[in-house]
Amino acid sequence: MANYADFQTGLYFAGLAGETPAYPLTFAGLETAARDKMEHRLYDYVAGGAGDEHTQRGNVAAFERWGIQPRMLSGAADRDLSVELFGHTYPTPLFLAPIGVLGVMTDDEHGDLATAAASAASGVPMVASTLMQDPMEQVGAALGDTPGFFQLYTPNDRELAESFVHRAEASGFRGIVVTLDTWTLGYRPRDLQHATFPQLRGACLANYTSDPVFRSRLAAPPEEDPAAAAFQWALTFGNPTLTWDDLAWLRGLTELPLLLKGICHPDDVPRAKDAGVDGIYCSNHGGRQVASAPAIDFLPGVVDAAEGTPVLFDSGVRSGADVVKALALGATAVGIGRPYGYGAVLGGTAGVEFVLSCLLAEADLTMGLNGYASIAELSRDVLVRVP
């Protein structure tokens, strides 16, 4: 089994021929390069967060409060980073978290397809957003043999929600991820300062404009009146009345694994399990929706309450070391968002693959040099609190 750290060796040997990496290797470098390339309103939408953005800063800083305790002479020269999730073995514990403007972040404005191609090549699953620039059927096909997931923003139109789920099934997605914390938009000063929002300008609405149910709600086809279609999207997008009682309806729509994204309180976990949910997705939306504690602080309690049910995690993951720490705290799989999004900005599919290679190389080396040969060896006991 090849170690992902071999990527690092390849960079050194390429340097002997005068080649340097095509993209930055750190999150700070990726963000700076992407900022310099992106249209400023789009950059602020991606980089920004709720309120004064202390939650998203806290998400990142919280990882620094955990350290990994090294163990020597442990025979960790070869590592196994594979994980089991819903009956499939993935080669790594990473997944690509949904980004609702991913489609317009690449030069050709087909960022969802570019990311799906990176997913197909790497085996890292993609959680594809409801808000895509290309229809889910095309994105699902581009995933190839890598099982992907469809993230559902549950609209207030039940017939439309049912159509989305059934289309996702037909498109080959292997699970439905219901996002719970975005039934309305959080208070985002950067977007408000620009007085703009990408979807209101018609961006990333392909799953709506290609849907027969959504089209039936329009007076004219979206191709003829895109502004009216965007307005109808705004009226349809959120579902503020969604409650625990609605989980039976959502569960009944599909036999695919159903995950709830945004679960952060342990008491919500058994309610989800009682409703037939197959997985818990612990996340505070990367600090984009509302002020909260750092998401990683919620993870141990959610994992304990899950009692073996898979727990996915994202929010604040910026490095391979962060990935290892989240796994040690009990995450089944760890999602990245902005890092790969900036990779898409810089290089499309190649940029996403490069970021994944960097994160996996660092995670692999972090495990090996600290003496852990497999994810099964990671537990809270390997972590120490750093003052």
Which letter does DSSP use for residue 126 in this model?
Answer: B
What value does the CA radius of gyration of the chain take, rounded to a whole number of Å?
Answer: 20
How far apart CA 341 and CA 79 sit, in angstroms, is 27
Domain extents in the chain = 6-385
Structure-block tokens of residue 302: 């959610």
Domain 6-385's class? alpha beta
User: Tokens for 251?
Assistant: 């569960």
For the segment 75-106, what is each residue's pLDDT rounded down to a tens digit?
999 999 999 999 999 999 999 999 999 999 99
Q: For residue 12, what are the contacts with CB-CB under 8 A and spacing of at least 6?
A: none
Whole-structure pTM value: 0.97
pLDDT per residue as tens digits for the range 163-189? 999 999 999 999 999 999 999 999 999
At 248-293, the pLDDT tens digits run 999 999 999 999 999 999 999 999 999 999 999 999 999 999 999 9
Rounded to 5 degrees, φ, ψ at 210 are: -95, 0
The catalytic position among 54, 88, 194, 285 is 285
Active site residue 265: no
**Shortest CA distance to 380 belongs to which of 259, 310, 296?**
296
Q: What is the DSSP string of 93-114?
A: SEEE---TTGGGSSTTS-HHHH
Q: Encode pLDDT of 35-88 as tens digits.
A: 999 999 999 999 999 999 999 999 999 999 999 999 999 999 999 999 999 999
Q: How far apart are CA 142 and CA 115, in angstroms?
A: 9
Distance in angstroms (rounded) separating the CA atoms of residues 314 and 332 = 11
Instruction: Please tell me the distance from the alpha carbon of residue 170 to that of residue 215, in angstroms, as a whole number.
Output: 19
Give residue 3's pLDDT band: very low, low, confident or very high (50, 70, 90). confident
Give mean pLDDT, residues 114-123. 98
**Mean pLDDT for the stretch of residues 340-364:** 98
Sequence letter at residue 61: A
Predicted confidence (pLDDT) at residue 196 exceeds the cutoff of 90: no
Which strand (E) or helix (H) includes residue 259? Answer: strand 258-261
C-alpha distances in Å from residue 135, one per residue of 171, 206, 211: 10, 5, 9
Residue 387's pLDDT band, with cuts at 50, 70 and 90, is: confident
- C-alpha–C-alpha distance, residues 324 and 333, integer Å: 10
